[in-house]
Structure 1
């Protein structure tokens, strides 16, 4: 029943699941499939709500009789294990900056998703929140997993999920107490989801003359995970052209900011901050930001993705809109520099860049300074599935 995000499937994958699995959550998020028609806007939102209600009526979804936490553990095929508590955070904690963000959101996208939530009145994609390691929460996790999980399933990509339902009142109180002692939570993934949920909460509070702050619309479905468990990987960059420059002119422009070494066919991956890998015209290069340019005003300036933007993409390659410019493509870490090499060799792109992954302390420092990271600065695991747990409001 649980599914990946809708857009992560190819059209053929989606159609196969919709055709052969009547229980897939994709039937809810793609309600037009029943009528073999693409449906959008308010009509789609209403049909999503109808499909959801049908799943409840057929008892595919069952409501817990009391308030609970979930412990959701994910085992990846590479040996990584992620354990997090699923519950709800309060919109006011976001408004008061107790939940900190490190990315900008697109107002149009937030507004659209707010209208969606206002119609469907449920949320099934937890915001990924992280916190410094807490011994008390680790101890509760160790205690809970001694029992058999209520739910266990393995996906076609060989991730195994275990879900424990925490109903014991003493354990619930211990979790709440431990989380209450944490000064700040940080958004690891889900900036648009939490922004739209908070916008909805604020709107509904204004519309409710008897608003108390305890209504279900004030709470946001969240997955809380210790920061030492997060896996942060990089996005590589691919650029269509050299902005009218020849290869030699481009290298000369780079030389102003970077020490350049031609690695020929030697596969190069950076091992230090402010070092970059570049693949150009059949050869690898290492780029080291010159020390006289390592003068940083804040945590954002020191971020490698920002350095790439400030010293290469914007001034040399003429790319200023990093979110929407179609000349630049972002490839997640699993599409490594070998993938980048293949794309450049195939003449689909002129040049590719790689860098080190961002560290969690960099993310937190940028959030603490109230700054926003460039698009596609981090690829963060775990990736959560839709439909495992749902918060209605």
Structure 2
């Protein structure tokens, strides 16, 4: 046997591979493309990594691209209205945003540089291929793969309330929109959201902008325009839906390049985490192979990192890596994933009255503003707050703090 087989070189797969390597457990990483191909590809996402994720990276010794320009120590939340509701919060552990075409190849080089084995497949594997690989490993962990994911891990209907996308997404890297190292979260009720963050890219620090459009609403058409027209349409949309961003946009706002644009839609889904393979072995799903949340709360990579860490520690505790192991590990991962999933799904709906109460308090009290923005780094507590009128009342009724 050759230890653990891992499918996928996203944050989940690479975190798992590097953590197992650190713990002295052999792992083989199966990837569609090598580091050079990852560097030259299209924009895969616009991701911010937060406190707990960064702490795990420090423990792994994989800190990269720590330019101050892409470290966000504050964030502004603005809700369109007359007057608008808005506030700026301070973040104790800055958010960090790096183009994954830089970050993931760096992690892959870390893994191979420390002696890790990588197999480049060239094409996305199907379930039959995962089953063939399983003959050489004690356990297969699937962290990515369109075909294998759909075939191995069916939708968990009890944990998946949506059957269609709730937003149409347009993400791009832009020049001419400089707010410095601040995260900007703009809500246009009934229309969608526009998120902006400074990101380290192949062109230096630039603005990553994600438009989350309610299907059929006024923000959606940007998702269908030719790439050459996207920046102009974004400039047209900002004054009406994200006026604070519009104030800082230059007349020369431009998309950095044709490959610096990503468009599509995500149906939020939780899948069954364990698949039984021919021959008696199992495959365990982690990361996007297991749970795909809308990026509205920025938790995808952070949740993937957390679940990979849990899986690594479970593997390190020893086998046998059968069905019972898979389900027990999945339940431990769900303890972390459930708050993220419930919170993100709640944000896709109109806010409850107690949530508006919390945001109104944040607009007048710096301590509450700081707390609200810190919640993005602590999704378990975030859901405890956003799901509880009693917890919100406790927060807003306590005396103002420093």
TM-score by length of 2: 0.27
More helix by share: 2
Q: Which has the larger radius of gyration?
A: 1
TM-score by length of 1: 0.28
